[in-house]
Structure 1
Amino acid sequence: MSLYWEERRDMEQVLFRWQGLQTLEAYLKPIASHFYTRNNVLIYVTGGSADWTINEQVIRLEPGSLAGIAAGSQVEIIHAVGFGLKGWVIDFCQYEVLRTDPHGGELMRQKWSVPAEGPVVLDILAKDEVGEQLEQLAFPGKGRSGIEQELIRQQLLYLLLDTLYKAAYSGEQTGNQAVKDKQIANKAADQAVLNSIDYVHQHYDKSLTREAMAKLADLSPWHYSRKFRAMTGKPPLEYLNQYRIFRAQERLLLAGALAQDVAKQVGFEDAYYFSRRFKQFTGVSPKSYVRSVASSRICVLSATYAESLLALGIVPHSVLVVPLLLPEHQRKAFERHGVKMIPVPQYMIDYQAIQAERTQFIVSPMISEGTRRHLMTIAPMAIGFAADMMGAISQLAVLFRREREAERVYAAISAAAAEARNQLADVIRTRATVMVLRVEPFGYRYLGAHSFGVSRILYRELGLTIPSVLNEGQGWFNPLRLEQLPLANPRYIFVENRITEGEDNQQSLQALMSSKYWRQLDAVQNNRVFHVETGLWVNGCGPIGHAEILRQIIASITKQAAQ
Structure 2
Amino acid sequence: MMSRSHEEAALARQHTWYVPACIAEWEGASLEGLWLRSASCWRILIVTKGIGVIAERPAGRGCIWLVPPESPLELEQVQTLQGVLIGYRCLAPDGGEALLGLSHPQPLASGSTQLLRLADELADLWKCPDSEAPFRLQQTFATMLAELEKARQAALLPESDWLSRTLKIMQEQYNSDLTREQLARQAQVSPQHFSRAFRKRTGFAWTDYLTLLRIRHAQLQLLGSSDNLDTVASQVGYKEGLYLSRRFKATVGISPARYRNQTQRFAALNFNHTASLIALGLQPVLGDYSPWLEGMQRRHGPVQQLRFAPIGPNREAWYRQIASVQPDVIVHYSDAPENDRLLPLAPVLEIPFKTMNWREQFRYIADIANRSALAEQWLEQFDERLQLMQARLYRDWGRRATVAVWELGDDKAYGISSSFGRGCQLLYSEFGFRPPERMLREGIEDKGYIETEIGRIADYAAEHIFILGKSTMWENLLRSESWSSLEAVKAGRVYRVERSDMFYGFDPLSSQAQLTEMMRHLTGAELQ
Give me the whole-angstrom Cα distance separating, in 2, the residues matched to 1:197 and 1:489.
Answer: 47
In structure 2, relative to structure 1, the CA distance for the partners of 1:318 and 1:304 (3 Å cut) is same
AA of the residue aligned to 1:535: D
Q: 1:320 to 1:465 in 2, by over 3 A?
A: closer
The residue identity in structure 1 corresponding to 2:266 is I
5 Å matches for 1:127-206? none
- The reply on whether 1:380 has 2:347 as its aligned counterpart is yes
Give the superposition deviation at 1:495. 0.8
Q: Who is 1:494 aligned against?
A: 466
Q: Could you tell me how far apart the structure 2 residues matched to 1:519 and 1:251 are?
A: 57
CA deviation digits over 1:363-421, x for unaligned, max 9?
Answer: 222314x4332222332122134542112122223333433222212111111212333
Matches within 5 A, 1:526-537: 528-532=493-497, 533-537=499-503
Q: 2:272 maps to which residue?
A: 304
Displacement of 1:246 in angstroms is 2.4
What is aligned with 1:391?
A: 360
Q: Does 1:520 align with 2:492?
A: no
2:417 is equivalent to residue 445 of structure 1: no
**1:543 aligned onto 2:516:** no
- Give 3-state SS (helix, strand or coil) of 2:415's partner: strand
Change (3 A) 1:464 1:246: closer
Secondary structure of residue in 2 paired with 1:437:
strand
Describe the SS at the equivalent of 1:363.
strand
| Maintained 8 Å contact 1:435/1:494 | yes
State how far apart, in whole Å, the 2-side matches of 1:275 and 1:335 are: 43
Tell me how far apart the structure 2 counterparts of residues 377 and 204 of structure 1 sit (CA, whole Å): 18
Deviations 1:238-261 (A, max 9, x none): 777655532432343457654235
Of residues 287, 306, 329, the one that matches 1:361 is 329
Q: 1:547 and 1:252, CA in 2 relative to 1: closer, same or farther beyond 3 A?
A: closer
Residue identity opposite 2:300 in structure 1: R
How high is the sequence identity, in percent, across the aligned residues? 22
Match of 1:140? none
For 1:430 and 1:245, the matched residues in 2 are separated by 52
- How far does the alpha carbon of each residue in 1:182-226 deviate from its partner, in whole angstroms, 9 at most, with x for none? xxxxxxxxxx999999999787976999xxx9x96679x9xx9xx
Does the aligned pair in 2 maintain the 1:298–1:317 contact within 8 Å? Answer: yes
Give the corresponding residue for 1:120: none
2:287 is paired with a residue whose SS is strand
Q: 1:424 to 1:276 in 2, by over 3 A?
A: same
Query: Does structure 2 conserve the Cα–Cα contact (< 8 Å) formed by 1:449 and 1:459?
Result: yes
Structure number with higher relative contact order (C-alpha < 8 Å, ≥ 6 residues apart): 1
Which secondary structure state, in structure 1, belongs to the residue aligned with residue 300 of structure 2? helix
**Of 349, 352, 357, the match for 2:320:** 352
CA contact (8 A) 1:388 1:453 kept: no
Distance 1:453 1:206, change over 3 A: same
Counterpart residue type for residue 290 of structure 1 = R
* Bigger shift: residues 263-272 or 430-439: 263-272
Q: Determine the structure 2 residue equivalent to 1:336.
A: 300
> Does the C-alpha gap of structure 1 residues 469 and 297 become closer, same or farther in structure 2, counting only changes over 3 Å?
same
Map of 2:458 onto structure 1? 485
2:520 equivalent in structure 1: 555
How many pairs does the alignment contain?
352
Matched position secondary structure for 1:462: coil
State the match for 2:104 in structure 1.
none
Residue 158 of structure 1: aligned partner: none
Of the three residues 425, 433, 436, the one matched with 2:405 is: 436
Partner of residue 245, structure 1: 215
Give secondary structure in 2 for the equivalent of 1:343.
coil
* Partner Cα distance (2:380, 2:175) in 1: 44
1: CA distance between counterparts of 2:459 and 2:202? Answer: 60
Q: 2:109 matched to which residue of 1?
A: none
Q: Following superposition of structure 1 onto structure 2, how do residues 186-335 of structure 1 map, counting pairs within 5 Å? A: 244-253=214-223, 257-263=227-233, 271-272=241-242, 274-292=244-262, 295-321=263-289, 326-333=290-297
In structure 2, C-alpha distance between the alignment counterparts of 1:241 and 1:461, rounded to whole Å? 43
Relative distance call for 1:360 and 1:231 in structure 2 (3 A) is farther
Please tell me the residue identity of whatever aligns with 2:305. Answer: M
1:406 alignment partner, one of 371, 375, 378? 375
Contact 1:205-1:264 at 8 Å conserved across structures: no
Query: For the residues of structure 2 that align with 1:393 and 1:299, how far apart are their CA atoms?
Result: 15
